[in-house]
Amino acid sequence: MLFNSIDFAWFLPIVFVIYWLVVNKRIRYQNLLIVIASYVFYGWWDWRFLFLIAFSSVVDYFIGRLLSTEERTNKRKLLLWISIVVNLGLLGFFKYCNFFLDNFITAFSFFGKTINIKTLNIILPVGISFYTFQTLSYTIDVYKRKLAPTDDFIAFLAFVSFFPQLVAGPIERATNLLPQFYKRRKFTYDEAVEGLRQILWGLFKKMVIADNCAVYADMVFNNSDAYSGSTLVLGAVFFSFQIYGDFSGYSDIAIGTSKLFGFRLMKNFSFPYFSRDIGEFWRRWHISLSTWFRDYLYIPLGGSKGSPYSKIRNVFVIFLVSGFWHGANWTFIVWGLLNALYFIPLMLFNKNRYHTEAISTTIPGVVDCFKILINYGFVVFAWIFFRAENINHAINFSIAIFDSSLFSLPVYTIRKLIYPTLILLIFFNTIEWFGRKKDFAIAKLETVMTRPLRWSVYAVLIFLIGMYMHSNELPFIYFQF
């Protein structure tokens, strides 16, 4: 079920009403409702893969239980490895099997040998990368004794399958989300209203900004040989807003929906395009994944401690794995590599934590503007690899940018079409800029506007969604990861 579908517009209020008015007396019933609703939500796409979530949940629940009674280090390690192998094994099979087969065949062909292995027709289960990492965080935290293993099976099922964030995150840490299923949830007016406000902003980002930018990004990327350098840059810029609107929009809807049910999820985006360097960008982009890799991969590898060589190695590892997490394609690996290359100089000169706070002045200074633009340029360049069909496409696209046509006007057909989207982008970025110190851009309205004004703003957003949304529901980009 898509957040931007009519099905979800019916589903959410029904679950909300049952949750607060029918099963509100007991936490266990509320958790059970969440499990049922989550399985319906996921099964709407393909019910067969429910068995996968259920299997993953059962394995990690019982490993958690066994870890609670096991004191021997070797046995504990073995249990942890079973969880890692099962979870990453499923992820590896569904997501990476064909990638490895293809590359295996290609590698042999270099040596003049042909091998006949047929790639498999595997459907990638939606959200598998997200819920796999979430369940893994549970087992690892229990193993490290950071979290007491749960004996509440229903709460654990609800934690793994919690529908607002099941298919595209934020990837929650067990230490944050699981304990919330044990506590009694109380309906609060302010939190519910804040949730709705965040859902509205998320829908605006997805349906107006991302989906409209997608039209022009697709137009340029699908026919990149035919366009001038300046048009290609425009296409890459549109893609940067497409992916930001799409993914952060999803996160806003997920976090807002959770608030409606009395849950607090972690922040996933914090206005990343206003970052002044790549270190700041990565503290603001897909925060739940970055911090997951930081805590479970980067720090265990040694983090930023040790020799320059080990620091560089660790940065490469984390960015390459992050790229590979996004998809079984060399384009994602190169995207990760580029980000590592951007990041390493900052780290070596100890500048990677230079900008930790958002710019405080209403109008940014010239230096900050310059830094934001330069950083944005680097990010957009890396997005080319993320969006391209394959490495050749990305390289040809990049080469075509840097010729004399870069200084020409973008092609007329695109220039003529993009004005409404450009106006919407200016409107969107202005609101994001003024709301950058809050959890989401329009959270600030609560404190600076009277109710009639606030309601007018919401009504305008709804109207703009109605005017500029696509008439067909477009899926979220991150569903494919």
Query: What positions carry a catalytic annotation?
Result: 326
Rounded least distance, CB 462 to other proteins, Å: 5
Q: Specify the residue, 104 or 463, whose C-beta has the smaller distance to other proteins.
A: 463
Q: Tell the smallest beta-carbon distance from residue 224 to other proteins (Å).
A: 22
Q: Which residue in the set 193, 341, 414, 443 belongs to the binding site for other proteins (CB under 8 A)?
A: 193
> Of 19 and 481, which has the nearer Cβ to other proteins?
19
Percentages helix, strand, coil for the chain (3-state, rounded to 5) are 75, 0, 25
Binding mask 405-444 for other proteins (x = CB under 8 A): --------------xx------------------------
Q: Is residue 124 classed as helix, strand or coil in its secondary structure? A: coil
The yes or no reply on residue 153 touching other proteins (CB under 8 A) is: no
Closest CA to 158 of 142, 175, 188, 182: 182
Measuring CA to CA, which residue among 137, 205, 199, 192 is closest to residue 164? 199
CB 151 within 8 A of CB 65: yes
Instruction: Give the binding-site size for other proteins (rule: CB under 8 A).
Output: 21
Confirm if 156 and 178 have CB atoms less than 8 A apart.
yes
The letter for the amino acid at 273 is Y
Q: For residues 270 and 287, is the Cβ–Cβ distance under 8 A?
A: yes
Stretch that binds other proteins, among 313-321, 376-384, 431-439, 460-468 (CB under 8 A): 460-468
Using rule CB under 8 A, residue 466 touches other proteins: yes
For other proteins, which residue of 67, 278, 320, 469 counts as binding (CB under 8 A)? 469
With binding defined as CB under 8 A, does residue 154 bind other proteins?
no
Q: Which of 325, 288, 34, 26 is nearest to 160 (CA)?
A: 34
Q: How far is the CB of 414 from other proteins (least distance, A)?
A: 14
List CB contacts of 98: < 8 A, sequence separation 6 or more.
Answer: 119, 120, 122, 328
Which tokens is 12 given? 């959410």
Give the nearest distance from C-beta 40 to other proteins in angstroms.
20
Residue with tokens 């040596």: 111
Give the range of 38-46, 63-71, 184-192, 350-358 binding other proteins by CB under 8 A: 184-192
User: 466 exposed, middle or buried (CB, 10 Å; 0-12, 13-18, 19+)?
Assistant: exposed
Report the distance separating Cα 459 and Cα 145, nearest Å. 49
CB of 195 or CB of 272, closer to other proteins: 195
Query: Residue 407 is encoded by which pair of tokens?
Result: 């200084």
Contact 249, 198 (CB under 8 A): no
For position 189 contacting other proteins by CB under 8 A, the verdict is yes
Binding of other proteins by 187 (CB under 8 A): yes
Interaction of residue 463 with other proteins, rule CB under 8 A: yes
- Whether omega before 170 lies within 30 degrees of 0, making that bond cis, reads yes
DSSP helix/strand/coil, 167: coil
To other proteins, the closest distance from the beta carbon of 471 in angstroms equals 5
Instruction: Examine residue 471 and tell whether it contacts other proteins (CB under 8 A).
Output: yes
- Applying CB under 8 A, which of residues 20, 62, 381, 479 lies at the interface with other proteins? 20
Distance CA 185, CA 182 (A): 9
Considering the rule CB under 8 A, would residue 25 count as an interface residue with other proteins?
A: no
Task: State yes or no: residue 456 binds other proteins (CB under 8 A).
Answer: yes
Residue type, 254: A
222 binds other proteins (CB under 8 A): no
| Least CB distance to other proteins at residue 459 (A) | 4
Q: Cβ distance 231 to 414 under 8 Å?
A: yes
* Stretch in the footprint of other proteins (CB under 8 A) among 89-97, 175-183, 262-270, 454-462: 454-462
Min separation Cβ 376 and other proteins, Å = 28
Q: Which residues bind other proteins (CB under 8 A)?
A: 6, 20-21, 187, 189, 192-193, 419-420, 455-456, 458-460, 462-463, 466-469, 471
